[in-house]
């Protein structure tokens, strides 16, 4: 087969041009093509409904659409005091996870969280965080976690049981004496426990007892830093709180017969209509919808009764998002921060994102408008709430006692040093009072004091 010279020249030119074109396209594509990054992030509490997971998946898809080079894998997760450390040690926690206010600073100082200072400071709203709130995620000038939500401890009550017991569901108790009387009335009239308190050995027993102590005016620690002292032994406020529980348990018999409830199981019991009142964070309604299918009609929330003295306060808390220390790849770390920004922070600062988030929540029958507290300042908090107000689908009228009352209360942060260990030392105290009529308060508090002080010294 023979070609004349002109054909061969044309053919050669075509081939050469094609090669050049391919080479040019390859070289022009090279700088823009970046490697796809996969990140594992925490999603929802295990056992959440399919609708809740559908809502989460929608948000993840929105993120991946906006960031085509990032792939997000959701891992169900619940922070638990007795499983978090082993999971972190075993590197089985996802790259992005949440921790309570109580732990982030200790974990950061131990280098058990990734240092995200540089990435965090690039966020346009970084300087607008409420200073005491962002302080929960900082060690010195270094940032290890970003606040995502804040709450105040609150009294959750079953409006249906209130009505059955002849109480006004719009007038929840405002003093501990009223709470005790209402609890007794609920038990007497309905046979259900009027007031239930978490008392499990996973630090939740101590957490709620500390909330009670704060509301009466007491504290469980004094001083700060290396001079911190546990103040459990001989503390009259703690004795007062224990006497109150003892009276409800043994004199009124209004606390039921299950004294092993924890954060999740007390939510279940309440959603099932088996609890008159209990204390937990103001935002637990979300979990009761996501995991326990609560009937919204029964739900009521009010501020915790506080004593009239000057030191009586409502204890607050919150959640921070952090990146695992084993995420060392810069691209992955940056992708993790983008996720934290998108998923947790943007709905608090960006109108379009706040509305988009609220719309997906409503579409999947997830709660919008659950009482929380300002992560930024109060002005920003009110502004963000005004954006999503049209999408509120929780019974805000039934939450009125809390929403109108809480900003009149004084809020205080949780104990600052070895917090979870101090709670753990109090677990046994609250259990003893609820399971032993003749419990020796002084002896119990002396034992707890030693354990708490040892933990404080070691931390």
Which of 366, 370, 393 is CA-nearest to residue 52?
366
3 state SS of 148: strand
Q: Does residue number 78 form part of the binding site for other proteins (CB under 8 A)?
A: no
Residue from 8, 61, 110, 396 that binds other proteins (CB under 8 A)?
110
User: What are the E-state strand segments in 251-324?
Assistant: 277-281, 299-303, 314-323
In the set 136, 197, 212, 421, which binds other proteins (CB under 8 A)? 421
> How many CB atoms neighbour CB 191 within 10 A?
8
- The reply to whether 432 sits near other proteins by the rule CB under 8 A is yes
* Residue 222 burial by Cβ neighbours in a 10 Å radius (0-12, 13-18, 19+): exposed
Q: CB-wise, 366 or 420, nearer to other proteins?
A: 420
Residue 144 phi/psi, 5-degree rounding, is: -115, -15
For residue 91, the minimal CB distance to other proteins (Å) is 10
| Min separation Cβ 204 and other proteins, Å | 10
**Cβ neighbourhood burial of 336 (10 Å; 0-12, 13-18, 19+):** buried
Residue for token digits 């997906």?
A: 360
Query: Does 107 participate in binding other proteins (rule CB under 8 A)?
Result: yes
Decide: 216 and 240 in contact? Cβ < 8 Å: yes
Q: Measure the CA angle with vertex 127, ends 333 and 56; round to 5°.
A: 50
Q: What are phi and psi of 74, to 5 degrees?
A: -90, 140
Minimum CB separation from other proteins for residue 361, in Å? 29
163 CB neighbour count, 10 Å cutoff: 13
Task: Please give the angle made by the CA atoms of 104, 409 and 299, to the nearest 5 degrees.
Answer: 85
Token representation of residue 359: 């719309």
283, 149 contact by CB (below 8 A): yes
Site for other proteins in 245-284 (CB under 8 A): 256-260, 269, 274
Segment interacting with other proteins, rule: CB under 8 A, options 276-284, 307-315, 368-376, 434-442: 434-442
| C-beta separation of 322 from 113 below 8 A | yes
Q: How far is the CB of 262 from other proteins (least distance, A)?
A: 9
**Of residues 184 and 192, the one with the C-beta less far from other proteins:** 192
Q: To the nearest whole angstrom, how small is the minimum distance from the Cβ of residue 455 to other proteins?
A: 7
Judged by CB under 8 A, the stretch of 68-76, 281-289, 328-336, 416-424 that binds other proteins is 416-424
Which residue, 111 or 121, has its beta carbon nearer to other proteins?
111
Nearest distance from residue 454's CB to other proteins, in Å? 8
Considering the complex, what minimum distance in angstroms separates the CB of residue 444 from other proteins?
8
Q: With CB under 8 A, what is the number of residues at the site for other proteins?
A: 50
Which residues 186-225 are close enough to bind other proteins by CB under 8 A? 191, 193, 199-203, 205
Among 106, 180, 210, 453, binds other proteins (CB under 8 A): 106
For 132, other C-beta atoms within 10 Å of its C-beta total 13
Rank residues 27 and 458 by Cβ distance to other proteins and give the closer one: 458
Residues linked to residue 146 through DSSP beta bridges, in sequence order: 321
Pick from 86, 132, 166, 234: which binds other proteins (CB under 8 A)? 86
The residue (of 263 and 376) whose beta carbon lies closer to other proteins is 263
d(CA 439, CA 446): 13
Residues 8-39 as b/e (b if ≥16 CB within 10 A, e otherwise) read eeeeeeeeeeeeeeeeeeeeeeeeeeeeebeb
95 near 41, Cβ under 8 Å?
A: yes
Q: How far apart are CB 253 and other proteins at their closest, in Å? A: 11
CB of 190 to other proteins, least distance (A): 12
Polymer length in residues for the chain: 459
x/- letters, 376..415, toward other proteins (CB under 8 A)? ----------------------------------------
Q: Shortest Cβ distance from residue 420 to other proteins (Å)? A: 5
Tokens representing 453 are: 């002080």
Could you tell me the smallest distance in angstroms from the CB atom of residue 286 to other proteins? Answer: 22
Residue located via tokens 């131990």: 110
User: Residue from 390, 436, 442, 457 that binds other proteins (CB under 8 A)?
Assistant: 436
Q: Residues in the site for other proteins, rule: CB under 8 A?
A: 79, 81-86, 88-89, 102-103, 106-107, 110-112, 191, 193, 199-203, 205, 256-260, 269, 274, 420-421, 424, 427-429, 431-432, 434-436, 439, 444, 447, 450-451, 455, 458-459
């Amino acid at each position: 087969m023979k070609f004349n010279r002109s054909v061969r020249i044309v053919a050669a030119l075509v081939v050469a041009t094609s090669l050049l074109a391919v080479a040019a396209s390859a070289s022009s594509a090279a700088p823009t093509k970046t490697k796809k990054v996969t990140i594992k992030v925490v999603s929802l509490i295990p056992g959440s409904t399919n609708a809740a997971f559908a809502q989460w998946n929608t948000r993840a898809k929105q993120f991946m659409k906006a960031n085509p080079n990032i792939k997000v894998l959701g891992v169900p997760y619940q922070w638990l005091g007795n499983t978090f450390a082993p999971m972190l040690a075993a590197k089985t926690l996802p790259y992005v996870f949440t921790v309570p206010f109580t732990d982030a600073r200790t974990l950061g100082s131990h280098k058990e969280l990734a240092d995200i200072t540089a990435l965090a400071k690039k966020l346009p709203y970084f300087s607008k965080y409420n200073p005491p709130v962002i302080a929960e995620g900082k060690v010195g000038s270094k940032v290890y976690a970003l606040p995502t939500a804040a709450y105040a401890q609150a009294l959750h009550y079953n409006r249906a049981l209130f009505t059955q017991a002849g109480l006004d569901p719009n007038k929840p108790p405002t003093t501990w004496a009223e709470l005790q009387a209402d609890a007794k009335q609920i038990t007497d009239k309905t046979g259900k426990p009027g007031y239930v308190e978490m008392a499990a050995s996973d630090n939740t027993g101590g957490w709620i007892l500390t909330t009670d102590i704060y509301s009466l005016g007491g504290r469980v620690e004094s001083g700060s830093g290396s001079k911190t002292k546990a103040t459990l032994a001989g503390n009259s406020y703690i004795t007062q709180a224990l006497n109150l529980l003892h009276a409800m348990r043994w004199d009124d018999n209004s606390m039921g017969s299950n004294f092993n409830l924890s954060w999740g199981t007390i939510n279940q019991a309440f959603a099932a209509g088996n609890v008159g009142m209990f204390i937990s964070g103001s935002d637990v309604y979300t979990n009761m919808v996501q995991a326990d299918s609560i009937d919204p009609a029964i739900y009521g929330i009010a501020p915790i009764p506080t004593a009239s003295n000057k030191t009586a306060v409502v204890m607050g808390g919150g959640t921070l998002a952090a990146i695992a220390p084993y995420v060392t790849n810069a691209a992955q770390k940056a992708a993790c921060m983008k996720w934290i920004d998108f998923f947790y922070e943007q709905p608090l600062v960006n109108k379009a994102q706040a509305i988009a988030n609220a719309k997906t929540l409503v579409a999947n029958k997830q709660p919008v408008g659950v009482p929380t507290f300002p992560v930024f300042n109060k002005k920003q908090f009110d502004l963000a709430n005004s954006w999503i107000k049209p999408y509120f689908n929780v019974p805000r009228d039934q939450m009125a006692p809390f929403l109108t009352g809480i900003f009149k209360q004084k809020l205080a942060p949780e104990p600052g040093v070895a917090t979870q260990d101090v709670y753990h030392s109090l677990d046994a105290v609250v259990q003893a009072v609820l399971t032993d009529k003749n419990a020796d308060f002084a002896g119990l508090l002396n034992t707890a004091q030693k354990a708490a002080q040892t933990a404080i010294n070691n931390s």
